[in-house]
């Protein structure tokens, strides 16, 4: 699987898609950020746990967790300059929708 021009694997340090999830459209890579959407039948907590483990492995700490404990909505933000990862999760009809935005470095011109 490819995302915005680079191969994905379990070794990707930050921003890899949730395993087994269905991608919703193409990933969008702009100058400063890469973003994509996906869906999975897994719970919010399970998906959040995957991204928390991924961020921890990349030494990128959690700085915000809005909706922890909610069964329907949750937002997580991980930051360790220059790395940034934002995960927005929502649950409806037995599926979890996931929006991922991340960058691994700060290209010139990004604030």
pLDDT tens, 87-110? 999 999 999 999 999 887 766 667
- What is the per-residue DSSP string for 15-29? -PPPTTPEE-S--EE
Q: What is the pLDDT of residue 91?
A: 96
**Higher-confidence position of 36 and 104:** 36
Share above pLDDT 90 across residues of the chain, in percent, rounded to a whole number: 54
Q: What is the pLDDT of residue 55?
A: 92
Contact 66, 87 (CB under 8 A): no
CA 40 vs CA 5, 26, 35, 94: distances in Å: 23, 16, 17, 9
Q: Which of 10-14, 71-75, 87-91 has the lowest mean pLDDT?
A: 10-14
């Amino acid at each position: 699987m490819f995302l915005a021009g680079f191969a994905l694997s379990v070794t990707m340090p930050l921003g890899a898609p949730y395993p087994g999830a269905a991608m919703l459209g193409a990933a969008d890579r702009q100058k400063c950020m890469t973003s994509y959407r996906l869906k999975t039948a897994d719970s919010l907590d399970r998906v959040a746990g995957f991204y928390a483990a991924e961020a921890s492995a990349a030494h990128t700490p959690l700085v915000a967790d809005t909706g922890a404990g909610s069964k329907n909505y949750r937002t997580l933000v991980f930051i360790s300059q220059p790395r940034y990862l934002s995960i927005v999760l929502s649950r409806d009809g037995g599926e979890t929708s996931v929006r991922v935005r991340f960058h691994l470095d700060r290209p010139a011109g990004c604030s």
